Amino acid sequence: MVSLLATLVLLLTSCANLESPFGRSAPEPERNILTGEVGGNGKVIAVKFDDTTYAHPQEGVESADVVFITQVEAGLTRLMGIYSSTYPEILGPVRSARISDIDILAQFGRVGFVYSGAQSKLRPVLAQSELVNLSAERNPPTIYFNDSTRNAPYAMMVRLPLLLEKSDEVAQVKSVGWEHGEISQFALPVTGARVSWPNASYELIWNQEKEKFNLNFDGRPNLAQSGEHLGSNMMLVQLVKIAPSEYGDKFGGVTPKSDVVGTGDAFLFRDGTVTKIRWSRTSPTAPTTWLLENGEVAKFATGQTWIFLTDKAPEISFSKPTPAP
């Protein structure tokens, strides 16, 4: 009898230790700091993408945790993808660094910076920053290579996993201040918006079925190399001062600098709505604060975040109100 009771106790104890409704609950999965979604928090890598018509379709943008869009010479745009949860095998086309990149990335800490090169005047400034140089200027053709299906200078691609093997100095991703949470009471339903620069434009088109804003670039669907229509349910249009800098490209074009330190208006597009908010940043290394009109913190949706740095307010298409019955 004693032996039978001991056996029953042993069985019950074993069952209690199983991952079941009657045992201990499974641990919460890790969530990426930037996206709020299930995923790792690895080393933070920033990649400069060409964003001209000739560079499309780009490869790997859809896997970034955050995507910045900035103005460059001749009123064109370039992208900068931030990666910390997923590292695609191949990314590109990769292009050169600009002066705005330093302040944009400073809030992320010691970032591994992936780019094709930089003008000689900018190189010492980059070297003095906290950015870790992972550029094509310091790495071989086994890592940076030209895609034979593309035309130079829109053909340079990078094998990111090989660069990660050289990233000992790169820091782990950290919080840059934003919070994920419920949508604001001030949010207004929209069908889309248009964001523009002197020689480039993006359209945000709300796709209810996909539950995200699809992006059009210069009037055409913005498709990745994979065929995915680029976009997200979480986008910010940040109004900043854009002024000529002391730098320029090899063709004589003056490089504009987007000033991300200071204060200004912003428009938070999430889940088919828009909310006008305010941004502030006290220094390049400080995180950007995003506040609602009543002073409360503006909450982000989980998922990939796109940030459009422009000095023009977006042209917003609001949803028509539903008639009362």
Does 88 reside within a domain?
Answer: yes
103 and 131, same domain (yes or no):
yes
Round the average pLDDT of the chain to a whole number and report it. 92
Could you tell me the residue range of the domain that residue 121 belongs to?
45-164
Residues 143 and 190 in one domain: no
Check residue 27 and give its pLDDT.
82
Tens of pLDDT, residue by residue over 196-238, are 999 999 999 999 999 999 999 999 999 999 999 999 999 999 9
Can you give the CATH number for the domain in which 221 is found? Answer: 3.50.90.10
Residues 238 and 261 in one domain: yes
Q: Would you state the pLDDT for residue 3?
A: 52
Q: Are residues 226 and 142 in the same domain?
A: no
Residues contacting 2, CB < 8 A, separation 6+ = none
148 and 195 both lie in a single domain: no
Q: pLDDT tens-digit profile of 155-183?
A: 999 999 999 999 999 999 999 989 999 99
Sequential DSSP letters for 104-145: HHHTT-S-EEE-S---TTTHHHHHHSS-EE-SGGGS-TTTEE
Q: Is 258 domain-assigned?
A: yes
Does 232 lie in the same domain as 126?
Answer: no
Q: Which of 123, 141, 164 is the last residue of a domain?
A: 164
Q: Are residues 290 and 241 in the same domain?
A: yes
* 145 and 205, same domain (yes or no): no
Question: Is 28 a member of any domain?
Answer: no
Backbone angles phi, psi at 19, to 5 degrees: -75, 90
Residue at 169 is within a domain: no
In-domain check, residue 298: yes
| pTM of the predicted structure, to 2 decimals | 0.91
Give domain status of residue 271, yes or no. yes
Radius of gyration of the chain (CA): 23
120-160 residue pLDDT tens: 999 999 999 999 999 999 999 999 999 999 999 999 999 99
Is 1 within a domain?
Answer: no
Of 47, 12, 71, whose CA–CA distance to 134 is shortest? 47
Quick one: pLDDT at residue 23?
Answer: 60
Q: How many beta carbons lie within 10 A of that of residue 252, not counting itself?
A: 7
Q: Same structural domain for residues 184 and 311?
A: yes
Give the total number of structural domains in the chain. 2
